[in-house]
Amino acid sequence: MSAVLDNPTGTRTLAANNGSSASAKRTHDIIRIDDLHIAIDLKGTDLDVVRGVSFRIPAGKTVALVGESGSGKSILAQSILGILPKVARVTHGSIWFREEASDDPVNLTSFADNSAERISLRGGKISIIFQEPMTSLSPLHTIGNQIGEALQLHRDISRKEIEPTVVDMLRLVGFPNPAAAFSMYSMELSGGLRQRAMIAMALVCNPALLIADEPTTALDVSMQAKILSLLKELQQKLHMAVLLITHDLGVVANMADEVVVMYHGQIMEAGPVEAIFRDPQHDYLKALLNAVPDLDMAYDAKLESLRDIEHEIPTSMLRDANERQSPPDTLLMSVSGLSKSFTAKKSKGWFGRSNTVVKAVNNVSFDVKRGECFGIVGESGCGKTTLLKMLVRALTPDHGNIAWQDQDGETDMLALDGAELKEFRKKIQMVFQDPFSSLSPRSTVLSTLKEPMEVHKLCNGREQAEYAAELMRLVGMQPTFLGRYPHSFSGGQRQRIGIARALALRPDLLVCDEPVSALDVSVQAQVLNLLKQLQSELGLTYIFISHNLAVVRYIADRIAVMFKGQIVEMASREELFENPCHPYTQALLDVVPHADLDHPLDFDRINRDMAVEGREWKAPFSSVNDGDEMEMVVLNENHQVRVRKGTNPEQITS
Amino acid sequence: MFRYIIFRIGAMIPTLVLASIVIFTIIQLPPGDYVESYIGELLASGESVDLARVEYLRAEYGLDQPMWKRYILWITNFAQGDFGYSFENQRPVSEVVGNRLWLTILVSFATIILTWVIAFPIGIYSATHQYSWGDYGLTFFGLLGLATPNFLLALVMMYFAQTIFGVSIGGLMDKEFIDQPMSWPKFWSVLEHLIVPTVVIGTAGTAAMIRRIRANLLDELEKQYVITARAKGVPPFKALVKYPLRMSLNFFVADIGSLLPSIISGAEIVSIVLSLQTTGPLLITALKSQDMYLAGSFLMFLATLTVIGVLLSDIALGFLDPRIRLQGSADK
């Protein structure tokens, strides 16, 4: 511990406080939860959300709390910290906290949440990082102010010492320029850096226990790997226990020493990570393991959703689907040379501003065939969403062409305008990432589903209502739900409503922007299976964007890998995963956490990669001189990769 | 930010020109002019009118000129600080308004301070104790205040003050102090008379302010960063003031812009009911008697204050909220 933070400027308080604890062997339990019950007050009646949970968190170890949303895992973490929402309270049981083996255990539930005892523990001895790095930090206060506040509250530290201590902490969590970051605002940082700032805030007082509530769920795979690696590294340096709350079994397999599986407020199974993964006992855990799409599963295997949904296809739509049947390999959409740049106007303090041109999408070309699912993979910021927006004509490209082929012949999509464009929009519909913000909270499901029909003046009111009911059945929901508002649905149900809305106009092409990334594994499998079935039953074509390689592998037929606005590799699914050529694709595949103890992430390698800012690839994959032109070289009929112009395909595969 | 302020000040000029054209047109809309209504008044009181005098008056005030010429004349003078001449009061507009300005500002400030002092604690209490009895009770009173027309409240209070306490609460000071130099007894008398108008004018504003503070704060209270602050061990009161309250103040700062003109306009109707010597009744009579320079300059004055107020609150928002200051806008 002291070795890490041992520097003359300002971390002495940290080191002094924990020097003794680091030397003492921590084999005791920091937290021991006994028969804990938590109830939520729902208009006078109690709903038990945690029902008799008991487990322990040993000092210095990582315990993973696994479960779907609604299983009570987050509220359990809140009860440990004493930040339960107003409607929730602990009805029975105890939480014993003991920082040192020699201390007497303290029952946290015997104190009120706002008592001095608990306030001094929060952020000091027990701290938390949240799922949403975008909203967890106050937008009005500087990073330094927010991290320093924790120090001020819990450490006897002079004002002068705060800044150097915080800057040291920021350096420790991997900020490239910690001194500058001190006076920055959260909106000036990327999602990954914000999560690092959160981690710095949680760890600045050197807590005995860190609760990480879905710390990487909102991040893409490569950022996830880096944050996980950072957490693991810091845990070793600072000797703290970690309670890792997640629904991602891949993360669990790579991080946890012990696993607790929760379902509906109860513990289904608990034990060391080895036992849990090698020999799962409980049916729920087995089902959960089967619901995760994995890079090792067979290409035609079907995910087993925990709760399958029955859906029925309305006859009118079936007729459409039959009409849509066409010989395989018919071209539907052809994109060539598509580019879009943004001018980011960044204000530099009070005077002046700088303009930087960002090529969000740079010369992208691909074809989409009728009836296939075309997947696009890439990190956040690689331009995939910008590309999508151009495909649905929400953004106008700077250069390039999009051609649409159907029974009416070829259409130049970018030339469409006014009424023609409006008519054309029926053919392409979109499913959005966030099922919570993509449905208006003030519209009933019925009016949400009717709206596209009203906009395009299809049918009269009665028919629209009937059709909305059919749409609900189509996505496996009861038509009686039509009168409800979105808040009464779960994330998976909302996403299904979003899909129903997209299908209301009977489109040919469905453009899906990360449709399952905000969903739990079990629900994710359900929605993926629904999308798959709808595709074959209705003869739909998909463009499917995701940062999750396993998800894309499960659903897509052909996949394009995007990096910094360009497609670097494009291949059929089997070809891409069996024979990835581009170093970026390989790197992406390396950072996917597997729900398999025999496939751990190579954290050392991730750390090494992290040190290199801006990737440098070996010879044919990056331009040696600035003037070198890059092009897509065809390796075989199913496989193209971006290399220097004139590179021989054999050179790449060797 | 600096460029932004320069740009905003530049943009004020066309806004004000447009506003002045609109104001001038509206004032000219009713048929006739001041001289006509003046004659009407004279005739009504049984005096005879000399046509030559009418023509003389018209020429004197420039009313025989075409409209655009009068506009140019008025606006160029206005820009140079000459607000024109009030026909009715036979004095320059600046003098007529200036006499009443200080009292108006006094009443308005007292009202605003009262509104804030009452609305803030109640709004915060209502938000942090949502759906409690306290919240319901205060909400009830707030809605009552919002729903009661000010002038009605003024009448009711005047009636009860007269019948129960036997005091007249009209005016802003006892009669003997009017037009007297400032003295302690006069100051005291003004303070006494200030209570009722402040309460009357303030009720609706206070009620609206409570509702808005409550709604804005409620939106913020559930945000993730508030939970972060609690999880960090920030004591509850500080966690409330430093994070969600600070965030919910944006609407409040944005409001300051519209406060500036309302300080000067002086709650017209209530002022008439309570016979307060503020600028409000002045404006109304000026509009009624088509005293065009008084009405026009006064309205123009309000428009200028509105534009300046909005600029000030935008600059203040830029200072307070880094998101406004720093966010670069990407073009589509």
Per-residue pLDDT for A13 more than 70? no
Interface of B with A (CB under 8 A): 1-3, 223-225, 227-236, 242-243, 246-247, 320-323, 325-332
Exposed e or buried b per residue across B24-43, where buried means at least 16 C-beta atoms within 10 angstroms of its C-beta: beebeeeeebbbebbbeeee
Cα(A614)–Cα(A582) distance, integer angstroms: 16
Size of interface A-B (CB pairs under 8 A): 101
List of chain A residues whose C-beta atoms are within 8 Å of the C-beta of residue B230: 83, 122
For residue A20, the model assigns a pLDDT of 41
Instruction: Select from A272, A511, A212 the least CA-distant residue to A375.
Output: A511
C-alpha count within 13 angstroms, C-beta hemisphere, residue B314? 15
| Chain B residues touching A350 at Cβ < 8 A | 1-2
Lowest mean pLDDT among A399-403, A488-492, B220-224, B257-261: B257-261
Contact check, Cβ <8 Å, B223/A121: no
Q: State how far residue B8 is from chain A, nearest Cα, in angstroms.
A: 15
Res B183 pLDDT > 90: no
To the nearest whole number, what is the mean pLDDT of chain A? 84
Residue A182: HSE in the Cβ half-sphere, 13 Å Cα cutoff: 14
A319 pLDDT higher than 50: yes
Tens-place pLDDT, residues B299-331: 888 888 888 888 888 888 888 888 877 664 433
Give the mean pLDDT of A359-364.
Answer: 88
Least Cα distance to A18 among A32, A5, A31 occurs for A5
Residue of A nearest to B250 (CA): A140
Mean pLDDT calculated for residue range A282-300: 83
Q: B322 vs A120: CB contact, 8 Å cut-off?
A: no
pLDDT higher than 90, residue A373: yes
Higher pLDDT, A73 or B40: A73
pLDDT of residue A623: 62
Nearest CA distance, A387 vs chain B (angstrom)? 13
3-state class (DSSP) for residue A532: helix
The answer to whether the CB of B229 falls within 8 A of the CB of B212 is: no
CB A635 within 8 A of CB A652: yes
Closest approach of chain A CAs to the CA of B304, in angstroms?
26
Q: Given this model, what pLDDT does residue B167 score?
A: 66
What chain B residue is nearest to A132 in terms of C-alpha separation? B224
pLDDT number for residue B186: 80
What percent of chain B has pLDDT above 70?
94
pLDDT digits (tens, 9 = 90+) for A197-247: 999 999 999 899 999 988 887 778 888 888 898 899 889 888 899 999 988
Give me the residue from A128, A130, A343 closest to B331, CB to CB: A343
Q: Do B223 and A135 make contact, defined as CB atoms within 8 angstroms?
A: yes
- Please give, rounded to a whole number of angstroms, the shortest distance from the CA of A80 to a CA of chain B: 10
User: What is the rounded distance in angstroms from the CA atom of residue A211 to the CA atom of residue A208?
Assistant: 10
- Four-point Cα dihedral B306, B310, B312, B313, nearest 10: 130
**Among A41, A83, A183, A243, the residue to mutate for chain B (most B Cβ within 10 A):** A83
Residue A154 has its nearest CB partner, among B233, B322, B323, at B233
Distance of residue A509 Cα from the nearest chain B Cα, in angstroms: 24
- The tokens for B62 are 């420039």
Distance from CA of B324 to the nearest CA of A (A): 10
Residues A138, B325: C-beta atoms closer than 8 Å: no
pLDDT digits (tens, 9 = 90+) for B257-303: 777 777 777 677 778 877 777 888 888 888 887 787 888 888 888 88
Q: What is the pLDDT of residues A385-404, one digit of tens each?
A: 889 999 999 889 999 999 99
- The pTM score is 0.78
User: Which of the four pLDDT bands, split at 50, 70 and 90, describes residue A17?
Assistant: very low
Query: A interface mutation test: which of B228, B238, B253, B332 has the most A CBs within 10 A?
Result: B228
Average model confidence (pLDDT) for chain B?
81
pLDDT at A383: 85
Dist. CA B316–CA B303, nearest whole Å: 20
What is the rounded CA–CA span in Å between residue A45 and residue B331?
51
Residue A611, pLDDT score: 45
If one compares A349 and A631, the residue with the highest pLDDT of the two is: A631
* B216 Cβ neighbours under 8 A, 6+ residues apart: B248, B250, B251
Chain B residues lying within 8 Å of A353, measured CB to CB: 3, 328
Least confident of A572-576, B82-86, B137-141, B171-175: B171-175
For B104-115, how does the pLDDT look when each residue is reduced to its tens digit (9 = 90+)?
888 888 888 888
pLDDT for res A558: 93
Reported as a single tens digit per residue, the pLDDT across A161-185 is 999 999 999 988 888 888 888 988 8
Q: Among B2, B323, B329, whose Cβ lies nearest the Cβ of A351?
A: B2
Q: What per-residue confidence (pLDDT) applies to A22?
A: 42
**A559 CB contacts (<8 Å, ≥6 apart)?**
A374, A375, A376, A377, A552, A553, A570, A571, A572, A573, A576
Q: Is the pLDDT of residue B131 over 50?
A: yes
- The band of A492, judged by pLDDT with boundaries at 50, 70 and 90, is confident
Task: Residue B224: list chain A partners with CB under 8 A.
Answer: 130, 132, 135-136
Q: How confident is the model at residue A3 (pLDDT cuts 50, 70, 90)?
A: very low
B119 min Cα distance to partner chain A (Å): 24
Determine the pLDDT at residue A387: 92
Return the higher-pLDDT residue of B38 and A586. Answer: A586
Give the amino acid at A600.
Answer: P
ipTM attached to this prediction: 0.75
Suggest the residue from A214, A347, A348, A357 to mutate for an interface test with chain B (most B CBs closer than 10 A): A347
Tokens of A68: 């779907």
Going by pLDDT thresholds of 50, 70 and 90, the confidence category of residue A576 is: very high
Tell me whether residues B1 and A347 touch, CB distance under 8 A.
yes
**Is pLDDT larger for residue A601 or for residue A552?**
A552
